[in-house]
Amino acid sequence: MAFKIRAATKEDCKEIFRMITELAVFEKMPDQVKISHEELESSGFCENPLFGCLVAEVPEEHKSKEGFTVVGYGLYFYTYSTWRGRALHLEDLYVMPEFRGRGIGISILSKVAEVAKKMQCARLQLSVLNWNTPSRDFYAAKGAQDLTAAEGWHLIRFDGQSLDNLANDAPKD
């Protein structure tokens, strides 16, 4: 099946948001999506964008059952390692179920890696839920290391009230 991977545009944000919600359902966390397509537009397509995104698009004759031609995405942002320098974090890699197994996912991943190399990033990193064995196996087959097992790193998060409390404890100027 023909498809192309291209940089997302502001006009793609409704489709990206649709797939973000599909991914959240797959990850069994649909209630966790708190953004809108408008926030994607303002955060990703502004003077200093907070993320980059690639989309997979199929020709009109191969559109989904629901009529969609944008069938996958990879959303990423830059981070910095004090040990290695520039890094790229792949926040989401998603392909609609009916389009999986056709090389779209690996094409998105490879294009994100190409972006990382072009921007002189030392590494590409991402997180995968522990129960998502197919994705963990997919990344491992491409050479990814599981740092949880290999190095014992834990992902730590502050949000909601814990983030508020921490910020409120900041020294006053």
Catalytic residues: 139
Closest CA to 37 of 13, 72, 54: 13
**Is 92 within 8 Å of 23 (Cβ atoms)?**
yes
**Is 20 within 8 Å of 51 (Cβ atoms)?**
no
Tokens of residue 47, six digits: 């003077």
3-state secondary structure 92-153: EEEECHHHCCCCHHHHHHHHHHHHHHHCCCCEEEECCCCCCHHHHHHHHHCCCCCHHHHCCC
